[in-house]
Chains A and B, each alone.
Chain A
Amino acid sequence: MEDVSVEFNNSNGMLSFLDDSNPVRAVDGVSLDIAEREIVTLIGESGCGKSTLGKTAIGVQKPTSGSVKYRGQDVWEAKSSGNNASIPFSEIRHALQIIHQDPGSALNPNQRIITSLSLPLKKWNPDMSRERREERIYAMFERVGMTPPGDFLNRYPHQLSGGEKQRAVLVRAMLLNPDLILADEAISALDVSLRVEMMDLMLELQDIFDTSYLFISHDLSNARYIAEKSGGRIAVMYLGEIVEIGGVEEIIENPKHPYTKALRWATPNLFDDRDDGEFPIRKIDVPDPTDLPDGCNFHPRCPEAREVCQREHPNEITTGSDGHLCRCFRADETHEYWNSPELHD
């Protein structure tokens, strides 16, 4: 038992970053830890910085300030210090993988699937024989239900459907046995009816390979599905900041931030969802990210905004159960917000 907990502590993939000082702050002072075998889902509107944050997390986007650490090793220090780092950059690079939104453009259209999938193995295991390589790829294809593998692997990308391409891309990322996969809107381009299947597959592979995912989506019901099935967390991003983060139960059933509530409202459900009530935001369009409002970023659209929200920027407030954080004065029962005059348009 002792071993288990130690291992968990040691391998806690500490990722924390602060990004600052750009004219457009795509990501603004975000701290986030992703544990071993954890799924963190990141949701928010387009342009809120979720992809930038994701890319920063896997070390392809250098933060302007702050740090990104993989198992305690600063990723960018590892890159600049070459072999002196405790974990060499090359190892970090192949431990952190990505799946993009559009599998069509992630596969070379002029190469057979097998060629595209062999490349990463060739690069990282140059000594592996061709037979060994193909054996592994074939085995993975069997596992993700693309059988017979030879049939799929010898085709070109345009001969596969969107769902099949996305599975091929997932296999490619998995071949390197990564510790963390950034799935950036990986299922958004798929039909609604194929999304559950793809997420189930990601969960199945997580079971086998002990991978963590940073799952980016603009769709709350997808985020909830994969996070709840894996006991993960949901982080809600708005204009560069994580405005609320917590367990699935907390975020879905007990959201604290008015923005999370608005997303919850906007998520169309099939069942038990007849009474939709009032539109929970005051303005449809997101403000210009180069000219952020003073005070709380959300206040121009927030239905609950009061005078204090126009001048003061809310910090993270811990609310209730463990790990549930929220950037809204309303989460603090003693805040001056409650005595601040309401805004009138």
Chain B
Amino acid sequence: MSVRDEIFEIRNLDVSFELNRGASRVVRDVDLNIHREETLGIVGESGSGKSMLSSSLLNAVVEPGVCSGEVTYYPQDGDPISVLELSESELKRFRWEEVAMVFQGAMSSLNPVMRVRAHFRETLQDHNRDIPAGLERARELLESVYLDPDRVMDAYPHELSGGMKQRALIALSLILEPEVLVMDEPTAALDLLMQRSIVALLDDLQEEHDLTIVFITHDLPLLTKLADRLTVMYAFGIIENGTVDELLYNSSHPYTRALLAATPDLNVPVDEMHAIAGSKPDPVDRIEGCSYHPRCPIADEHCRSSEPPMATVNGTHESACFYHEKAREAVPLRGDSKQEGAVHE
């Protein structure tokens, strides 16, 4: 294994909710490393547990959800921080200053009766920062997301378009110079052009501020434009990890491959796109063996009885499938022919 600088290390993470119908484990035994200054894309269908996984990075899983396991954060200098054991006041500092989060729906993240300036001021004040200097920085940040600070600072949220609000929120999340930016579906409600603009902008911001970005979405095509590495979640667990090229051109889990085949794509003939058979599992259900076996074309007795561990495909590419070598054959994909050229890039 290559030695890389980890910023987050997640081990045996579980998140569960107690429901009337029984306990529902919405994150199941997840191990994940996040490298410093990378963009990690977490992709999965709604209800696959991806938002809960990302919330646990800030110990922000909402009540009555219960997190267990280890989430370790490694600051640039200083001792590792065990995020799930932080006290209320330590958490307050940790959030925003080390790790900032941009939630889905910019519309509801901004206070409708506060001007944009007040949002910045409040955040600075709460963290005992120098306010005039902070507001000056806010203006620079707004400019870097293509907003006119003179207009936006004095505007109320309803006076801004959806895309402008989302960009203002990104600027706000960076005001305390965090190391990590966690973004949960930040572009879901936006138009294509705005999505691409924001993606381009995140690239620039990442470079400028040495950010680590964790980007969560069900929009796989968009993610491939932004991420260095992808993590695919299915039914509350991680089923495949790898670089964008490894997953696009050599994905080795039947679910990832089915997901790729179900994604509308302008460059793929319409006859090659297919919906995924079956439907996704209920969080209360306990599926024996591999969670994907009821929908998987190559599942056999082995898959029904035991759970496949994460297996290395090659290098950094891992797949939680007993038959990852056969996945390619079972679910052929458009990208297959391109594999050789792309992987050795």
Contacts and interface: CB of A to CB of B under 8 A. Distances in A.
Contact of B220 (A162, A252, A270): A270
Interface in A228-278: 228-229, 252, 262-273, 276
A220 B275 CA distance: 18
Given A270-B221, A270-B224, A271-B267, A45 B193 contact: yes
Interface string B33-57: 0000000000001110000000000
Nearest to A218: B191
A196 interface: yes
Interface residues of A, number: 42
Interface string A311-323: 0000000000000
A269 B193 contact: no
B248 A193 contact: no
Given A193-B259, A194-B275, A197-B275, A266 B264 contact: no
B191 A45 contact: yes
Contact of A220 (B192, B219, B222): B192
Given A193-B276, A284-B193, A268 B221 contact: yes
A85 B267 CA distance: 48
Interface string A160-178: 0111000000000000000
A221 interface: yes
Nearest to A198: B275
Contacts of B225: 268, 276
Interface in B184-202: 191-197, 200
A218 B195 CA distance: 11
Contact of A196 (B164, B220, B274, B280): B274
B222 A269 contact: no
B163 interface: yes
Contacts of B338: 271-272
A46 B162 contact: yes
A91 interface: no
Contacts of A193: 45, 218, 259, 262-263, 275-276
A222 interface: yes
A161 B281 CA distance: 11
B194 A284 contact: yes
A281 interface: yes
Contacts of A279: 197, 200
Contact of B267 (A195, A272, A285): A272
B260 interface: yes
Contacts of A220: 192, 266
Nearest to A219: B192
Interface string B93-113: 000000000000000000000
Q: What interface size band does chain B fall in?
A: 35 or more
Contact of A252 (B161, B259, B266, B274): B266
Contacts of B265: 221, 269-271
A191 B218 contact: yes
A225 interface: yes
A222 B266 CA distance: 9
B146 A284 contact: yes
A192 B263 contact: yes
B334 interface: yes
A140 interface: no
A141 to B, nearest CB: 15
Interface in B131-165: 146, 161-164
Contacts of B162: 46
Contacts of B192: 45, 218-220, 263, 266-267
A242 to B, nearest CB: 17
Contacts of B191: 45-46, 218
Contact of A263 (B47, B163, B193, B268): B193
Contacts of A252: 266
A268 B224 contact: yes
Interface in B266-301: 266-268, 270, 273-276, 279-280
Given A45-B191, A197-B262, A281-B193, A192 B267 contact: no
Given A193-B262, A270-B220, A272-B338, A225 B193 contact: no
B12 to A, nearest CB: 28
B125 to A, nearest CB: 30
Contact of B264 (A47, A196, A262): A196
A206 B266 CA distance: 23
Nearest to B271: A229
B48 to A, nearest CB: 9
A286 interface: yes
A37 interface: no
B58 to A, nearest CB: 24
A69 interface: no
18 contacts: A45-B192, A45-B193, A45-B194, A193-B263, A193-B276, A196-B263, A196-B264, A196-B275, A220-B266, A262-B193, A263-B193, A264-B266, A265-B196, A269-B266, A270-B248, A270-B263, A270-B265, A281-B193
Closest 8 CB pairs of A and B: A197-B275, A268-B221, A221-B264, A266-B192, A45-B191, A266-B196, A272-B267, A191-B45
Interface of B: 45-47, 146, 161-164, 191-197, 200, 218-222, 224-225, 248, 259-260, 262-268, 270, 273-276, 279-280, 334-335, 338
Given A270-B268, A279-B197, 10 more contacts: A192-B221, A193-B262, A194-B262, A196-B262, A229-B270, A252-B266, A267-B221, A285-B161, A285-B163, A286-B161
